[in-house]
Structure 1
Amino acid sequence: MSQVILVTGASRGIGKGLVAHYLAQPRTTVIATVRDTTSPKAKELTILQKGDKSHLIVVKLIADDPVSATAATSEIRTQNLNHIDIAIANAGICDHWGPVVESTEQDVLSNFEVNTLGPLRLFKAVAPLLQNAKTPKFIYISTLLASIGGIGNMFTLTGPYGMSKAAGNFLVRKIHAEYEHLTTLSIDPGLVQTDLGDRAAKHYGMEQAPVTLEECVSGIITQIERADRSSTSGSFVNANGEFVAW
């Protein structure tokens, strides 16, 4: 049986890097979700290198659409797939920069729609497919900015983003507690050379983010491979495997 991997937010950055890695492995089916399957970035996924007997399925999924995850899962089932081994909730946004006093309710709500409700909707939709896998894993791409314990050690102007990701971390821990057959993990990828990462780096006076996309993807893959129910499930780690304070 081939390994089945689902990655949301797959059209660019970390998501695309994860798709490229898994697709290059043998006997692997990669489900790459994007907002628009007809976009040039979505089309670029189809030319990624494929491993022996590996396949790519590009599916529309809009994280802030309440019914999109259910529709995407229905489409996945039409591909004769009855299980998912690893679901990676990578899609996210950070669309407000400034102190808390300048954030609006809409700023907070828009971040929660994608960064918190998006993964919740995804999990609810794919839970039956995860249950059919032998050792299923649900992975959440989080951020150090979601660490409540670390707030005093860093300066950030991304309150709505951090709040929404902290709630996402709670979701990961809660799923771990409720599903004994499932391994869950929140991963902080670091400040990565992506559109979002470089924008943040420039805000902090850097030319670009310090972590290359290749380093980030390699670290995330390593943590996913190491994750198991008895040791790291329900935890928050960085790409180097170090535990991050909730």
Structure 2
Amino acid sequence: MTVTFITGGNTGLGYESAKRLKELGHKIYIGSRSEEKGIKAAKELGVEYIVIDVTNENSVINAANEIKQKEGHIDVLINNAGIPGGYQAPKDITSDIMYNVFNTNVFGIVRVTHHFIPLLQNSKHPVIVNVSSGLGSFGQVLNPEKIESKVNALAYSSSKAAVSMLTVQYAKGMPNIRINAVDPGSTKTGEQFKHGTQTLQEGTDAIVKMATIGKDGPTGTFTNRDGIIPW
């Protein structure tokens, strides 16, 4: 059975991905920094729960150790945890605002990936899915025909652009692991993203697709539910 760990799995895209992958036969562990919300979501989904705060090194280490004790490995890591960080005008962006967003969206991926690599290396066909955004795509935000071009979110967009480069560099440096970035698209995932145009099913299509690729699947790519998109 494929063992899958999803950060930020108690709500939104993470929750829906857990639901869909469980239906496909994966054994799911969802991660959440809120124990109360995580336990509630896990019970609803019929999956396992691991407490994890991706902004805290010790929390990530403890989460990795817990899964190591229970499973000895994971096959799929979905780096889904992320925050929007607000949409201040560029002139109002401070280094503290940037750090807060990057600490979850970028450094969080680095922390989790670093400490979960040993578990992935124990898998026959390890996969990492980094949940990014079209708002981090230069091609999308510079294309006047795309909705991303209408949004000016300096902190969030630059953090997701960083996720793209993380994905490429990890993929180049670890060719034995299939590592890809995905753009869910504009999706209604809750209070923080309540103006999305897609359903949760549509928003998780790319996540589920990349979480279920085989050993000869792509690596170092950036896709949405329709296929490859520009970096």
Instruction: State the number of aligned residues.
Output: 225
The one-letter code matched in structure 2 to 1:43 is K
- State yes or no: 1:61 paired with 2:52: yes
- 8 Å CA contact 1:192–1:210 kept in 2: the answer is yes
In structure 2, the residue matched to 1:164 is 159
Cα distance in 2 for partners of 1:193, 1:146 equals 18
Q: Secondary structure at the match of 1:70?
A: helix
In structure 1, the residue matched to 2:61 is 70
In structure 2, the residue matched to 1:18 is 17
**Structure 1 residue 186, shift from structure 2 partner:** 0.3
Cα distance in 2 for partners of 1:215, 1:97 equals 24
In structure 1, the residue matched to 2:229 is 244
In structure 1, the residue matched to 2:198 is 211
Cα distance in 2 for partners of 1:214, 1:182 equals 26
Q: Secondary structure at the match of 2:179?
A: strand
**Structure 1 residue 20, shift from structure 2 partner:** 1.2
**Structure 1 residue 36, shift from structure 2 partner:** 1.8
The percentage of counterpart residues that share the same residue type is 25
Candidates 189, 193, 211, aligned match of 1:197: 193
Candidates 127, 130, 134, aligned match of 1:144: 134
**Structure 1 residue 118, shift from structure 2 partner:** 0.5
In structure 2, the residue matched to 1:205 is none
In structure 1, the residue matched to 2:75 is 85
Candidates 150, 156, 174, aligned match of 1:155: 150
In structure 2, the residue matched to 1:180 is 175
Q: Secondary structure at the match of 2:211?
A: helix
Structure 1 gap segments, 5+ residues each:
51-55, 202-208
CA RMSD of aligned residues (A): 1.7
- 8 Å CA contact 1:227–1:233 kept in 2: the answer is no
Query: How does the TM-score come out when normalised to structure 1?
Result: 0.85
The one-letter code matched in structure 2 to 1:236 is F
The one-letter code matched in structure 2 to 1:193 is K
In structure 1, the residue matched to 2:28 is 30
- 8 Å CA contact 1:115–1:164 kept in 2: the answer is yes
**Structure 1 residue 169, shift from structure 2 partner:** 1.2
Comparing 159-168 with 96-105, greater Cα deviation is found at 96-105
